[in-house]
Every structure is written in C-alpha cells, then in structure tokens.
Amino acid sequence: MYTEFIIIYIGLALNLVLTSIALFFAAKGKTGGKKRGKRRSKNSFDDQSSGVITICKKCALQYDANLKKCPGCGTPKK
Ligand SMILES: [Zn+2]
C-alpha cells in the first residue's frame, strides 16, 4: 500500500523537475533567437556591397567595385 503511494509521489516530483527544466531551456532558446537576428543584419549588409572599393580616376570618388561606372561623374570603370 505505502510503496504504491511513494511511487506516485516520485512520479509527480519527476514531472515537476522535467517541466522546470523544459521552461529553463525554453527561456534560453529565446535569448539565442536574438543572436540570430544580429547575424541576419550582417548578411543583409554583405548583400549591399562586395567590400571592394574602386577609386574614380576622374573625380577621385570612392565607390563599390560592383558598380560599372562612377556614381559621381559617370565615368565608366576600366
Ligand atoms: Zn568619378
């Protein structure tokens, strides 16, 4: 009789521990999501420019190497 009750109490205690652990990891997962958002902003920056800069020979303007001509004076890139 008593051993059956003990088993039930142990089961309830385990359930409480498992749910608290699950909640703890769920809270951790939320903070990880914020870090992923920062990575996305970095990727969008990479899409905008190649990181290589060309200097115009005519007006000395520094512009992205992806552009075919100078945005300042319109001189085509060599
Ligand atoms: Zn130019």
Domain assignment present for 16:
yes
Ligand 1 centroid to Cα of residue 36, in Å, is 39
User: Whole domain around residue 29: which residue ranges?
Assistant: 2-52
Structural domains counted in the chain: 1
Measured in angstroms, how far is the CA atom of residue 53 from the centroid of ligand 1?
13
As a whole number, mean pLDDT of residues 43-59 equals 75
pTM of the complete model beyond 0.75: no
* Residue bearing tokens 């992806």: 66
Could you tell me if residue 19 is inside a domain? yes
Query: Distance, CA 57 to ligand 1 centroid (Å)?
Result: 7
Residue 44: is its pLDDT beyond 90?
no
Residue 46: inside a domain, yes or no? yes
Residue 62 has pLDDT above 70, yes or no: yes
Q: Is 30 part of a structural domain of the chain?
A: yes
What is the distance in A from the centroid of ligand 1 to the CA of 41? 30
Q: Is residue 40 part of a domain?
A: yes
Residue 76 domain-assigned (yes or no): no
Q: Is the pLDDT of residue 67 over 70?
A: yes
Lowest mean pLDDT among 9-13, 42-46, 53-57, 58-62: 42-46
Q: At 63, which helix (H) or strand (E)? A: strand 62-64
Q: Which of 62, 34, 74, 67 is nearest to 48 (CA)?
A: 67
The answer to whether residue 27 sits within a structural domain is yes
Question: What is the Cα–Cα distance from 73 to 70, expressed in whole angstroms?
Answer: 6
